[in-house]
Structure 1
Amino acid sequence: MSQPALSQQVALLEQETGQRLFTRTGRGVEPTEAGLALLVHARGIFELAEKARVDMRERELTPSGRITIGLPPRVAHAMTADMVQRFRSEFPDAAISVAEGLSIRLREWLVAGRLDVAVLFDPPASPLLHMETLVREPLVLMATTLLPTRMRLAEVAALPLVLPSRPNALRQLLEKEAQPKGLTLKVVAEVDSIQTVLSLVARGVAATVLPASSLREWTHGAPPSIAAIYAPVIRNRLVLAVPRARPATRLSRFVVQLTRELAESHYGQDAQAH
């Protein structure tokens, strides 16, 4: 920049700030106190501009790496295909791993650092994990025999039931509600696979208690009879959990938000309908 142009820019800056920014001496110029103060602001402005440029460059780049999410089997069956497809579309150079397991195991893996994100059913609180309830879904009774539209928990407990074995979260939730009322569940078979549970219900072996959305897993001809449970109404919690100590990345932030959207898409309607 030529000397006249530079002098004109300095004059305009002094006019805009209303401050004398330089003191002219025989050896050149020196910044005034106001000039030094403006220099601090100017450096901050340039740093912010550089951060903005870096952020924009990062958004142009495609992250690589791997992220691992843990899902209970029923959730994995409903959400995995959509999750992997959306993830691959957004991050073609990254990889996603989906681990299936009971909520109690997924929680252990999350605390141990084997998972980055997990979806859990009714987990106990932990200072090591940040938890967010995605949806609360009512439990219902399913059977091939004709059921009333609503049944008290005491009536449900008296029926022959096929349920998952402990420490399944649904089994624990159901027993937690039954015990204070002095009720003992009449469990005639313990089966951990939801598909097998529904198969036994279809054969008329026993009834079962499952979240309302489990009806989507039914593949046995005519749909079963469904009764809403009350006195009390029992709702499970589908929870999104991430380790508190682990810094968020673009991959983890995307998977967390995607999990929220898929949970609402797959389970939100069932929760609202009951």
Structure 2
Amino acid sequence: MVVDIAALRDFILVVDAGSLTRAAALAGVSQPAMSQRIAQLEAQVGHRLLERGPRGVEATAAGLELYRGAQQVVRQVDRLAESLGSGIRDIRGAVSVGLPSTVAPSLVPALVPLVAARHPGIRLELFESMSGYVEELLGRGRLDLAVLFRPDATDRPGEVALYEEELFLVTGTEVDPATEPASAAELVDRPLVAPGERSNLRHLVERFFTTAGVRPRVVADVESLAAMVRIAQTGAASAVLPRSVATAFTGPDLTLRPLRPAVRRTVAVCTAAEFYEPRVAVLAVRDAVVDAVHHLADRSAWPGIAPVRR
């Protein structure tokens, strides 16, 4: 069986877009032309790859298997083309990096100029979202790198631990001026706002309370960190956040109370090692991420983080 690389790219685009029409627009072709390309690919592989419905298209079981393999093949072809087209001293190519919303505001302003200075031929593609979605995209091979939360500072295959940070109960000072550590039992009736279930932050909040045998009183799922801080500033509800996020916004004063027992998390930069060997450009950006974190910490420009030293 011979499958054209362009056909695999089209198929990946359709699955990601969830719509033949949207995928056609992104590819700059007509919808009938895109449909014909997918039909030809299905004929080549001998399986139906997409199920069409009122909400768009989804991959079948065979389609999902091809999608995963196609990710690896296309990335490998891109890596080979990049290697043939540039030398080690002239690293080029696009590198997609996924960043959780609690990390991006502090890291991106330092990372972009650092990569530009070291490797002008690299084009960064930065994606910010809640941590669960970022991890999902890395797991599907749609990102080259992702900054993710891990249970400890142990380096795993394809990962480099960056820093550790503590989480705090954040509340408007006028409502709660206390600064001593707060237990789950003490906070059982406290209204909280937290990200949705895809977020590592939400998982940590839930575990903090359930470990103590109680349930948190989450009054709203809020996917915006800025909105969470604003709500805390009004005193309408508290939030659990790292120090860097809680201190990044102007407005009414906030009180930061440590949690008892303390809640900490480790942050690592990860590659999609299970899909393909990272390209030279990807490794260069990974090194820049590590260096940017250490530079910020050394200048006390990222409050609340403790870098993992090598």
- In the alignment, is residue 99 of structure 1 matched against residue 130 of structure 2? no
Candidates 204, 220, 228, aligned match of 2:258:
228
For residues 260 and 157 of structure 1, the distance between their equivalents in structure 2, rounded to whole angstroms, comes to 38
Other-structure match for 2:244? 213
Structure 2 letter corresponding to 1:153: A
Higher helix share: 1
For residues 135 and 151 of structure 2, the distance between their equivalents in structure 1, rounded to whole angstroms, comes to 8
For residues 202 and 184 of structure 1, the distance between their equivalents in structure 2, rounded to whole angstroms, comes to 23
Q: TM-score, normalised by structure 1?
A: 0.69
Q: 3-state SS of the aligned residue for 2:109?
A: helix
- Segments of 5+ residues of structure 1 without an aligned counterpart are 1-56
Task: Mark the CA change 1:238 to 1:170 in structure 2 (over 3 Å): closer, same or farther.
Answer: same
For residues 265 and 186 of structure 1, the distance between their equivalents in structure 2, rounded to whole angstroms, comes to 38
- In the alignment, is residue 182 of structure 1 matched against residue 210 of structure 2? no
Q: How far off its partner does 1:116 sit?
A: 0.8
Other-structure match for 1:120? 148
For residues 116 and 78 of structure 1, the distance between their equivalents in structure 2, rounded to whole angstroms, comes to 20
Structure 2 letter corresponding to 1:227: R
Of the structure 1 ranges 193-202 and 178-187, higher mean CA displacement relative to structure 2 is found in 178-187
- In the alignment, is residue 241 of structure 1 matched against residue 270 of structure 2? yes
Task: Mark the CA change 1:237 to 1:158 in structure 2 (over 3 Å): closer, same or farther.
Answer: farther
Q: How far off its partner does 1:255 sit?
A: 1.2
Q: How far off its partner does 1:131 sit?
A: 2.9
Structure 2 letter corresponding to 1:218: F
* Contact 2:167–2:258 under 8 Å retained in 1: yes
Identity between Structure 1 and Structure 2 (%)? 24
Structure 1 letter corresponding to 2:199: N
Q: 3-state SS of the aligned residue for 1:149?
A: coil
* Contact 1:64–1:93 under 8 Å retained in 2: yes
Other-structure match for 1:254? 284
Task: Mark the CA change 1:129 to 1:106 in structure 2 (over 3 Å): closer, same or farther.
Answer: farther
For residues 213 and 81 of structure 1, the distance between their equivalents in structure 2, rounded to whole angstroms, comes to 14
Task: Mark the CA change 1:101 to 1:123 in structure 2 (over 3 Å): closer, same or farther.
Answer: farther
Q: 3-state SS of the aligned residue for 1:200?
A: helix
Q: How far off its partner does 1:117 sit?
A: 0.7
Q: How does 1:12-161 map to 2 (within 5 A)?
A: 58-59=87-88, 61-122=89-150, 130-144=158-172, 145=175, 146-161=177-192
Structure 1 letter corresponding to 2:90: T
Q: 3-state SS of the aligned residue for 2:241?
A: strand
Q: 3-state SS of the aligned residue for 1:155?
A: coil
Q: Aligned-residue CA RMSD in angstroms?
A: 2.5
- Segments of 5+ residues of structure 2 without an aligned counterpart are 1-85
1:49-81: CA deviations, max 9, x gaps?
Answer: xxxxxxxx944x422211111111231122112
Q: 3-state SS of the aligned residue for 2:304?
A: helix
* Contact 1:111–1:243 under 8 Å retained in 2: yes
For residues 174 and 228 of structure 1, the distance between their equivalents in structure 2, rounded to whole angstroms, comes to 13
Q: How far off its partner does 1:212 sit?
A: 2.0
1:135-184: CA deviations, max 9, x gaps?
Answer: 22111111112123222232133311111121211111121232132111
* Contact 1:67–1:97 under 8 Å retained in 2: yes
For residues 306 and 91 of structure 2, the distance between their equivalents in structure 1, rounded to whole angstroms, comes to 37
Task: Mark the CA change 1:156 to 1:71 in structure 2 (over 3 Å): closer, same or farther.
Answer: same
Of the structure 1 ranges 257-266 and 65-74, higher mean CA displacement relative to structure 2 is found in 257-266
Candidates 146, 170, 193, aligned match of 1:162:
193
* Contact 2:182–2:257 under 8 Å retained in 1: yes
Poorly superposed stretches of 4+, deviation over 4 Å: 265-269
Task: Mark the CA change 1:66 to 1:107 in structure 2 (over 3 Å): closer, same or farther.
Answer: same
Larger gyration radius, structure 1 or structure 2: 1
1:55-109: CA deviations, max 9, x gaps?
Answer: xx944x4222111111112311221122111111122222111111222222221
